Each structure stands twice: as C-alpha cells, then as structure tokens.
Structure 1
Amino acid sequence: MSILEVDGSIGEGGGQVLRYALALSSLTLRPVRIYNIRAKRDNPGLRPQHLTAVEALRELTRAEVENARVGSTEIVFKPRYRGSSISEIDVGTAGSITLVLQAILPVLAFTKGSSRIRLKGGTNVPWSPPVDYFQHVFLYNIKHVGVEAGIKVIRRGHYPRGGGVVDVEVKGLSDYLKPLQIVKRGRLRRFFIHSYCVKLPQHVAERQLKAARDVLSKVFREDVEENLEFYPPEKDPHLGPGSGILVYAEADPGVRIGSDSLGEKGKPAERVGEEAVLKLIEELESGMAFDRHMGDMLIPYMFLARGVSRIGVSRITLHLLTAIEVSRLFFPEAEVKVEGELDKPGFITVRGVGFQP
C-alpha cells in the first residue's frame, strides 16, 4: 500500500492533524508520512504528549515508525496489524490524557472485545479538553454512533506536576458505526455543575459552584444537579494544586452541550464559575445540538459511519474544518457538505464509508 503524504501544517496546523492522521492510519492500516508537524506553533515538532500518542498507536498496531522523537517535524508511521492490546500509557508529567485518548479511542472502538487502559498524566490542563468534559459530554454524545466507553478518574493531574491517573474501558463494536442525524437541540431537560479543587481550600470549589449557579439561575429555570469535589488536606493524594468547573445541559433528543473553565493563579474562583456558564449560554443560544468542541471530535466517526450523518454545531471552527480535511485524505470517496461560515453556527453533512476492519 502506498504511503499517504499528510502535511501537518494544514488547517489549524497543530497536534490535531497528527492525532487524527495517526488514528485513521491505524484503522485503515494505510502507512503515512506526516511532515511539517505542528508547523504553526511557536515550538514546532513533536512534544512529549504527541510522542506518547505515537508510541501508544505503535504498540496497538505493531507499527514501524521512523523519526519518533521530541522535536521531530516529520514521522513515518507504518501500521502492520490491528488488534494488539496495551495496558498502560504514561503521558508524562502534565501531558494531556484526553488528547492521547482522542487518538486511540477510534482504534480501540474497532478492536474486538473490551479494552481496559490506565492513562497517567494531566487530566485538567490548558489547551485540551478536561477529563470531565470527555467523560460526561463527549462519551455521552458518542454513544449515538455506537461507541461505548467509560472513564474513571482515580486522581487529577494539573500543570506543571501532573500525576493524574485515569482508567478507561472501551467496548469493541459489533457492527458498523451508526450515522448521526441530530441537528437542533430540543427542550432543555436539566443542567449539571461539577466544581472541584485539589490541594486547595474547600471554599475554592464552593465559590466556583455558587458563581456558576447564580449566573445560570438568572437565565434558566430547569433543574440543576450540583456536584462538589474537594479533599481534606490529610486525605488529598494529588501532586499539586488545581481547580476547575464543568457545566453542561442535557437536552432532547438525548444530547449534552458543555462548557468548562480552569482555575489558575490569580484568577478568582468566582470568575472560573461565571466564565463556564457564560460560554455555555453562548453555545445554547445557537440552538444547535452540539457545542463547538464536540463538532471536530465527531468528524472522524461520521466519516467511518455507514450512511449519511448530519449535525448542527454551535460554531464552525478551524479545528472542525481541519478534521474534515484530514479525514478526506483517508476517505476521498466520502461526500461532505459544510453549510455556514467560520466561527458561526452551521451544519455538517457526511456520507460515511461504512468502515469495517
């Protein structure tokens, strides 16, 4: 099979191109050469968390890999087999666990039986989806296409020390991925607020939650389910301080729309809570079924599904368009239609290829 050339600078030009290209290469067993890796970043080339994704997929596919080292702007990845297992992935310090999960989840979904993996690294770190969003929003929504997976957070990890531990279980598919046809959200059912802090006083999580609740209650009348997470100093197993909040809405016909905010030094807890809710209100005002982050994460599954998928997203992002561009390289026969402008609400239609290993 000829090597597929993938320009890592296309679209948003970051690690997303690498992750999706490696995932689809691993699924199709199509060898790839990815060059200009993270060309649009200040520190181009592979970072440790990207290297972890490469190594995990290498192990899952018994791939032959060239130039896999930190700083490398080009790699060759030649998968040879689909179905190997892996029990633990250490992203290192505060490298993002969820970004590595983004790369390996499609491969695990198409692996027979159930896969159980422990991941170590950062669970709630800047520039990546927090584990809470992945757990409560992404995995909930992806069930619509037939992917069943669960996450258990053992310990949180924040920048710079990391130390997070997460157990993941993915049930292998028994059939084709189902097409996803949910465009607009229906009636709002209820809201959820999950506020946490580690290695910090309890009041930090409480203030985040109160601020979020206060803003939410001024706009919506639906029930709100609240969850507060904190640890007494003598029972706190975390390596360093951190806080954050996830706020999401559950709506007909069974979708979740989410938003989050991460605490940081000098940022008042009240601002963390308010920020998450204000972002969520913006997502909900679009009336679309999926938030801006779900959009690009759903794209590869829409290409792999059997039949026509059509979704509505609160915002067409560069990440979403990049996901389409990378997926098209592997599945040129798929038909795609994007309706809407960049940074505005829009619709994505994909006639998937009905992929089966």
Structure 2
Amino acid sequence: MIKIDGSIGEGGGSIVRLSTALATVTQEPVEVYNIRAKRDNPGLRPQHLEGLKALAKLCNGKLEGGEIGSTKITLNPNQVQGKKIGVRIKTAGSIGLVLQSLMIPAPLADSEVKIEFEGGATDTFFAPPIDYLNNVTLPTLRKMGYQGEVEQIRRGHYPKGGGIVRSQIQPLKKLKSLKLTEPGKIKSVQGISHCVKLPGRIAEKQASSAKRILSKAGYDAEIEVETYKKSEDPHLSPGTGIVLWAETENEVILGSSALGKKGKPAEKVGREAAENLVKQLETGCAVDQHLTDQLIPYLALAEGESEITSAELTSHTLTNIELVKQILGTEFEVDGEKGEPGRIQAKGRSDSAKT
C-alpha cells in the first residue's frame, strides 16, 4: 500500500486529490494521513469528500474514512470503467479541482467517461475557473493526445455555488510527451469577463481595465463580455471574474485569471488578471504558473521525455513533483528556485502506453 503524508508541502487538499488519482492509475491501494493537518479546519471538507466518492465510483474502488473532518483515508482502486458519474457539491467548493483529479485516470477507461456536476463553484479563489480549463488546460493536454471536453451550463459563485458542468473524456491508449520551452511571438490575446446577479457594467469595466493594461504592454486583446438580464439570470449567487489567455505562434497558451469580491473594484479585477498575464509573458517561458502544476502528472504518465519552461515554480508545483516521484517513481529534473521561472524535465513511465 502507498502511504502519503498529507501534511507535506502546502499540506492542502490537492495532496489527497493527486495521490488518490495516481493510485487509481496504478491500481494500487493508497492511504493518505494527516490530511490538511496545517489548516485551521483540518481533515476533509465537503468538496474533498465528494471528489473522493466520485473517484471511487470511477474505478469501482473501496473508500474508507470518507467522512467530513476525517484526517485519514484509504482507497483501494480497481479498473477504471467507462460510465456516467454524477457529482453533487452542496457547498461552493471548486468544481474545477474535483474535475482535475478525475481527468487524470479517466482516459484509462475502455469507453467514454461522462461526469456531471451539480452544485459547487465554477469560479472561486485558489482554484482554476472552468473558463481557464477550457481555454488553457485542455488545449495544452490535446497536444499530448488527450481527448476531453468540458461544458459550463451554469456558473457557481460563493456562497451558494449552484454550478452545473458536464464533461466527456475519451479513452486513450497512450499519452504523448510534451515539449513547451520556446513560446515564440504572441499571436493573440483573448479573454472572458463575466458577472452574474449584478449589473452588466461590472463585467464591461473588468474587460476595459484589462485591455488598457495589455495595450500598454503592446498586446491587443479581444475580451468577450458575458452578462445577464435580471429577469433571465439563472445563477444562485452574485459574482464576477475574468480569465485571459495568450496564444503564440508556436501554439503555446498561457493564462491568467482574477475574481471579484464585495468591495473590490471591477477595474482592479481586470488589472490584476492583465498584469499577471503580462508578468508571465515577460519571463519568456512557455507555461504559466498554474498550468505548470496541472501538467506534472501528465508529464509523468506520458511516453518518453517531456520538457517545459515555467513562468514560476510554485510550492504547489514542487509538491506535485514530489508526490508523483513517490507514487510513480518518475524521474524529474528541476532547474530553478521556488518563486522564480524554471525548467522542468520528466522521463515518462515505461508502461505509460496504458494511459
């Protein structure tokens, strides 16, 4: 049995999600202890538990310790099978984070995997927005042969959540290696600025602010503004956000996002996302800081050697690398310091043709 200390690195819920997802790939039992031990409210929260239950359904596995507040769980996975899975998140927990963990083993199935989320947040703090997954993560994974689609039916924001998202993931015999080191010239900058249960001018101000910052840096941006008439708005909680992405001549995509909150000016939301994107583009690296940590398990599972340059080596990325090395035995070479741009090389697993 694989045993993982859930307090390593940042000690967050991502350790549970990634450890169990990778164990599902290898079909080895896994125990995760000291779950979120460094947090003020240690143990599993509702979104973590729903993610674990969904993963157990996907692999017909046995989950033990699956309770709110539990600091230790074990998962005994079996073969992943094509099926339809429903995930209900009663809080405003992140849909994107739960989906990330399911996306890793889902291609192992013998037929299509369908995942339907009801409840939860599509746009929340410290988690990838669905717009980011659709416009940055998935296009990059498709370079590796990954076949998946995500459809956002209804946005969810804090405090009520209420998001509705549907995903389809196709079987894949092998994952190709990835080399993203030289981004090349910027071809286009795009984005989506949204607001729900709020006046539409908020989304417009976010977009305008982002455009001004990007224009000063030499980039013309096309940003879609998504708003709703009060009588036609189906969302449960008010919220705003913006996701930006830049595509280069070498088909590299780097992204950035920012979320609104009560008392935070719309102009600041747009400026925050734009300044972050400009900062990452100026590094000359081919992968943004958030996509970097998402790619780590895929680089490990790919066939052959992969190499990327990252705009920032975050503690989240470095923790993911240590977990992958521990569970899969993948060789990684990291050139750079935490908080700085860096280069990551990975030697894929020899039996990755199953993935």
TM over 0.5: yes
Most deviating of 97-106 and 246-255: 246-255
CA distance in 2: counterparts of 1:7 and 1:75, whole angstroms: 11
For residues 64-114 of structure 1, the C-alpha deviation after alignment (integer angstroms, 9 at most, x for no partner) is 121110100001111123215233111222111000011100111222232
Q: Work out whether residues 81 and 111 of structure 2, in 8 Å CA contact, stay in contact via their aligned partners in 1.
A: no
Q: Work out whether residues 245 and 261 of structure 1, in 8 Å CA contact, stay in contact via their aligned partners in 2.
A: yes
CA distance in 2: counterparts of 1:28 and 1:92, whole angstroms: 30
Between the two proteins, what is the percent identity of the paired residues? Answer: 42
CA distance in 1: counterparts of 2:151 and 2:296, whole angstroms: 25
Q: Work out whether residues 248 and 256 of structure 1, in 8 Å CA contact, stay in contact via their aligned partners in 2.
A: yes
CA distance in 2: counterparts of 1:233 and 1:324, whole angstroms: 46
Q: After superposition, where does 1:144-159 map in structure 2 within 5 Å?
A: 144-159=143-158
Q: Work out whether residues 160 and 236 of structure 2, in 8 Å CA contact, stay in contact via their aligned partners in 1.
A: yes
Q: After superposition, where does 1:296-315 map in structure 2 within 5 Å?
A: 296-315=293-312
CA distance in 2: counterparts of 1:33 and 1:193, whole angstroms: 40
2:109 to 90, 93, 111: 111
Q: Work out whether residues 34 and 76 of structure 1, in 8 Å CA contact, stay in contact via their aligned partners in 2.
A: yes
TM-score for the superposition, normalised by structure 2: 0.97
TM-score for the superposition, normalised by structure 1: 0.96
Structure 2: gaps spanning 5 or more residues: none
Question: Residue 126 of structure 2 aligns with which residue?
Answer: 127
1:257 to 244, 249, 254: 254
> Which one-letter code corresponds to 2:290 in the other structure?
H
1:29 to 23, 27, 30: 27
What SS is found at the alignment partner of 1:95? Answer: strand
Q: C-alpha displacement at 1:219, in angstroms?
A: 1.1
CA distance in 2: counterparts of 1:66 and 1:153, whole angstroms: 32
Q: C-alpha displacement at 1:224, in angstroms?
A: 2.3
What SS is found at the alignment partner of 1:257? Answer: strand
What CA RMSD, in Å, does the superposition of the two structures yield over aligned residues?
1.1
1:15 aligns with 2:13: yes
Question: Residue 348 of structure 1 aligns with which residue?
Answer: 344
Question: Residue 202 of structure 1 aligns with which residue?
Answer: 200
CA distance in 2: counterparts of 1:106 and 1:335, whole angstroms: 19
Q: Work out whether residues 62 and 81 of structure 1, in 8 Å CA contact, stay in contact via their aligned partners in 2.
A: yes
Q: Work out whether residues 54 and 85 of structure 2, in 8 Å CA contact, stay in contact via their aligned partners in 1.
A: no
Q: After superposition, where does 1:1-357 map in structure 2 within 5 Å?
A: 3-120=1-118, 121-173=120-172, 175-221=173-219, 223-332=220-329, 334-354=330-350, 355=352, 356=354
Moved beyond 6 Å, runs of 4+: none
What SS is found at the alignment partner of 1:41? Answer: coil
Q: Work out whether residues 156 and 165 of structure 1, in 8 Å CA contact, stay in contact via their aligned partners in 2.
A: yes
CA distance in 2: counterparts of 1:92 and 1:84, whole angstroms: 25
